[in-house]
Each structure stands twice: as structure tokens, then as C-alpha cells.
Structure 1
């Protein structure tokens, strides 16, 4: 969860920046350990025995905004765990106690396990007012605010230049340009609703309109697109068409025409031309999302879709409101139901399981297109996820998908 993006950074990056962390010990689920070590080389991962100083525990689901920082600093006391709504929000432990307790439990941290090993040596205090994220649509809802706060923290940033052929509304002081940014002629930047931050090496091509608050990540390209307020685009993305109040995690491609709104899109996703999602019912009623077998009323009238890493959509794909799409799945046509991980869905036949070796080969190809090397850790994670999500695919046909091009029909394996 801590690697999910909101505003101009991930939740973990927000903790590091706002709390001015110089040393960090990460506790993650075992299957994420190897890839986390690869991504965060400067930090220790799942090695609580190396703790040798006082430890501030922070729940990876916590949204660290300006208010949270001030409140946390005023509350923290040694050897105390702080609970909100029955969950551990944060804690502060002395070195010996931290090493002993954290060596005895695994991520995700179980509160009962912590208390069992800590015994009566910690104080429990209940707090309120912190934001512990429970659902992905809460990230989207918080994104607008977090972009504004992130830009306010940075202040004026004019390492890049704007030509006189770029139209700016709301004042150039509300447009942050990092080093190496290129904004082509006839781009419109509307900062009246909030700041616009274009990060290092990003390119905004002619004909684009970006409304703030918005963030465009490092080395991303916006291709003559309409980018609405509340949108965050991660690093090395290609974005076109229309995007509104959406988070695109990074290394993803949505560069063709089509609408993506009130949605969360993971890494290494490819969105085919004409793919569009719905984020509003015709009845204007609240949207329900299926979570762990239950339909949760989001209480919101605008909720789009939630697309996992490595998902691919074909041209002309249409995605209904509140849809969840699992890792590595391929989408075609109208998507009216949640899609399990590693599933080929929507070719006028039963959904078919995506071959694991095919997913691994595809990962290698897409990595190479962005000059990224596939590692053993990447492959191992895909293999783990394939096994871990098998129950999702109980009703999915097993075997290789075959398409009869003479009749334009799908043959079941």
C-alpha cells in the first residue's frame, strides 16, 4: 500500500519527506520483500534485528498530510502505540523494545501480536483525525489536496521555461517547472483551480490543456491531451486523450484517444486506442464496488475503475463504473464485471486464463521498451501472484485462447 501514489509522490515518499526520515526500516509482506529491496536499496527491508535506535512506527496506509505531521509531533511519546478505529496508526518504541517486538511479528503488523510480545511495556492510546486509507477511491479523492500541499511545500520552481506561445491562466507562479521540462507552443495551462507541477524531463506536446491541481511525473509525455484537475501522472508515462481526477502510477501508456476518469491505474499498463471508462451512472446514484465478496457503497456518484499492474486493453474497450481489473489481465469489448488477475476477458466467449509464461515474456518485452531489465525478483513476484490469485479464476477456462479469424469467433480451449 505504501507504494501507491497520491499527489506528487507515493505514500512512502510522503512519509520520508514530511517526517524528514534519514533512516528507514521497511516491514512488508514476505512475497514483496525481494522487489522492495531492489527498489529501496538505501533502506533495510524486513530486518528488525538491525534496529539500533528509537523507532517511529507508521502504518503504510496512513496519508501523511500537513495536519497529520503537526498532530503526530504533538502526540508522540516513547513506548506508546496509537490506535484509530481499532487499527495501529503509529507508535514510538525505544531501541531494545522495538527490536524485540518487531522481530517477533511479520507484516502486515498484527496489533494483537504486537501487544502479546510487548506485554505491559507499552501504553495504548486512542487517536482520531488521521487518515488511514481503506479503499482505492480514497486515494483519488485525496489526490487534489495532496498535489496542492506538495506544490506548496516546494514553493516556486522555475528550472524550466515557458515560451510566449504557451497560454497560462491563474498566474505563472502557480506553474512549477523542473529541470529539462519542455512545454511546446499552443499548450494551455490553467492553474486557476490549483497549481500545476511538471516534473523533470517531462514533455507537454502542442494542443494539450492541463487544469490544476495536476502533476506530470518525471520523463512523462502528454500528447495533445486534456488533463483535468486532480490528476497525477507518475514517471515515464505516455498520456493522451482525456484524463480527469485519475492517478496513473508510472511506466504506463494511455497515449491514444479515449476517456479515463476518477480511476486508479497501476504500473506497466497499456491502454489501447478508444478505451473509455464510465465514472457516472445514468441515474446519478452512488457507485458500489465489490471488495472481498461484498458490495461496498462508496457513497460517491463518480467512481471509475481500478486497473492492476501489467493490464492490457484492446482498441475500443469500454469499462463500466466501479470495475476492478486484476494483475496482467487482457480486456476486450464491454467490461461489465470485475476481471480476475491473469485473465483474458470479453471476446464473446468465456474468460480464459492467461498463460503464466506468456505474462513473463510480455513483462520482459515491455521492460525493454523502457530500458528496464527484467530480474529474477520480477519473475518470482509474477509467479507468486499467479498462484495467489488462483481462486479468483475458478470459473475461468484453462488453456490457450484461439481465435477463428475466418468467422471472427473465439474457440474455447
Structure 2
């Protein structure tokens, strides 16, 4: 979740309080029932929710919440449910409902890209590593300690690069890209609006757009992640094995940890690759790619 700061401050100042957000389709969420800004009850996800005030999942309580948790019985799942404790506590004391002005649900891999777009726009660039002569940095670019941007690299901020990274030479990094620690971006690589996790290597002649790359991945030379359909429609992807509409016109690959692609691999828009997959040269990857699935040429 990604709430706005003023609402968080309001939550912290209200004493016992829960956070909420008005939603168009409350069937996807547990919801609050309130009275004059005070919590009356919490209702779990249902087809006929009594309000559109979704539980945003941020709380401010004292020790009484632990007394409530100790007082409730185990649920059918064999767990102590926070919602049961909230309902019990709401009958004992006054709990404020604080409505958030902004809330982003980060429950799907591509939500990371939307979060990047929001957080990086407020970034103020800071260079703690080394930038060689001949490299071009435009806008707000942050570079961590021990990292180097080599000659010929062209970077358009906002871009965040972590520690001990090796960037370039002659690469192009475009806005709202977040690169973690110990990442290698090599010659003739273009990265756009993506999140790349620790220890991944995109060595040369590759394109990564609107993608999330896990930890410890290695791109064979010439790996290209397509991020746009020819018809311009929103791109389908996968969540827990189910094909869903991402709602995004541009979406590349959602790549798990420790994936290795062969040289000249082509990856379709919206592809999900499970952790540990090792591909063949000239493979074409699309849809949901499992570790046991043979790569196709």
C-alpha cells in the first residue's frame, strides 16, 4: 500500500484509529461500517458489502488491541483474526476512521511500476558514486556509493541507482527506473520505467521496458522484452496462475528471482517467468513460464 503522508499524520494524531479509502467496487475488500466518523464494525469481503469504505490496512492502536486479540477465539482457519479483534474493540472503545486521500494497492507485480512513478517524481538527485566524463545525466538521478556510470551512458531522471552498480558504457536508462544494488547494465542496453532487483545483470544488446526483474537474474545478449501490443489494447498477465487484465497499455515481463535467459531471447508483453527458469538461445517466452516448461525456439 502507498498512502499519502498527511493522512498518515492524521491517523497518528487521532489515538485509536483505522485507515479507510473510498472505492468504486467494495466487493474486493473488507469494509468498515461507521457512525459519525467512528468505527461500528468491520465486514469481511462479500458480494453485498454494506459500505464502500474499504479497509486500507493501516492502524494506530494502544495495548488494548492485544487484550482484544487474547479475548477472541481461534477462527475456522486456526488463526486469531484481526478483524474479529477490531469488532470486539469497537464495542469497548471509540475508534476513529481516518479516510486516506491517496492509497495504492500494491498486490500485483506491475503495481511496483505505478509506485515507482509516484515515488520517484519527488526524488532529488544525489550522486555518491563515480560518473565518468562523457556520461550524460538529465533531471534527477541518484547514484549510490561504490557505483559507476561509464562514458557514453545517457540517463534521464527520475532514476534511482543503488550501491556497487556498474552502468554502461553506451547504455540508455529512461525515466522512472529503479535499479537496486550490485546491478550490471551493459553496452547497448535500454531500460525504461522498470524495477531491477539486487545482483541482476543485463549485460549487452538488450531492451527492458515496463518490467519488474527479480534478484540474481542474468540476461543473455540480445534479450528483448516487448511491452506493447500491436493493437494498443491493455495487456493481459498472470496473478497466482490466473490470467488477468493488467489495465496497462504498456507492460513488459514480470521476472522471478534467478532467471537466466539465453542469447537472442524474445519475451512477449505481460509474460510472467517463475523463479529459477533457465532459457535456451533464441527462445520465445510468453504467457506463464514455469521452471519445468521447455523454452521454445
**Same-fold call, TM cutoff 0.5:** yes
TM-superposed CA distance for 1:177, in Å, is 0.8
Give 1:55-94 correspondences, 5 Å limit. Answer: 62-64=1-3, 68-76=4-12, 77-84=14-21, 86-94=54-62
Report if the CA contact (8 A) 1:88-1:111 is conserved. no
- 2:174 is aligned with 1:228: yes
Provide the residue aligned with 1:295 in structure 2: 243
Mapped to 2, the partners of 1:99 and 1:252 lie a distance apart of 46
Mapped to 1, the partners of 2:232 and 2:143 lie a distance apart of 34
Say which is worse superposed, 305-314 or 79-88, in terms of deviation.
79-88
Give 1:14-413 correspondences, 5 Å limit. Answer: 62-64=1-3, 68-76=4-12, 77-84=14-21, 86-98=54-66, 101=69, 111-115=82-86, 118=89, 120-121=91-92, 123=95, 125=97, 127-128=99-100, 129-151=102-124, 175-178=125-128, 181-191=129-139, 195-224=140-169, 225-240=171-186, 241-332=189-280, 333-340=283-290, 342-347=291-296
Query: TM (normalized to structure 1)?
Result: 0.56
Question: For residues 328-348 of structure 1, what are the alpha-carbon distances to aligned partners after superposition, in whole Å with 9 as ceiling and x for unaligned?
Answer: 1122300022112x3353156
Report if the CA contact (8 A) 1:220-1:237 is conserved. yes
Counterpart secondary structure, 1:250: coil
TM-superposed CA distance for 1:311, in Å, is 1.1
Mapped to 2, the partners of 1:252 and 1:293 lie a distance apart of 25
Report if the CA contact (8 A) 2:225-2:253 is conserved. yes
TM-superposed CA distance for 1:220, in Å, is 0.6
TM-superposed CA distance for 1:130, in Å, is 2.0
Report if the CA contact (8 A) 2:227-2:270 is conserved. yes
Question: For residues 334-374 of structure 1, what are the alpha-carbon distances to aligned partners after superposition, in whole Å with 9 as ceiling and x for unaligned?
Answer: 0022112x3353156xxxxxxxxxxxxxxxxxxxxxxxxxx
Structure with bigger helix share is 1
TM-superposed CA distance for 1:200, in Å, is 1.2
Mapped to 2, the partners of 1:119 and 1:74 lie a distance apart of 19
Question: For residues 46-95 of structure 1, what are the alpha-carbon distances to aligned partners after superposition, in whole Å with 9 as ceiling and x for unaligned?
Answer: xxxxxxxxxxxxxxxx225xxx1111112342232223453342111112
CA distance change for structure 1 residues 99 and 306 in 2, over 3 Å: closer, same or farther?
A: farther
Query: TM (normalized to structure 2)?
Result: 0.76
- In the alignment of these two chains, the number of paired residues is 254
Report if the CA contact (8 A) 2:65-2:85 is conserved. no
| Aligned CA-pair RMSD | 2.7
Q: Structure with the greater relative contact order (CA < 8 A, sep ≥ 6): 1 or 2?
A: 2
Query: Where does the alignment leave 5 or more consecutive residues of structure 1 unmatched?
Result: 1-61, 152-174, 349-413
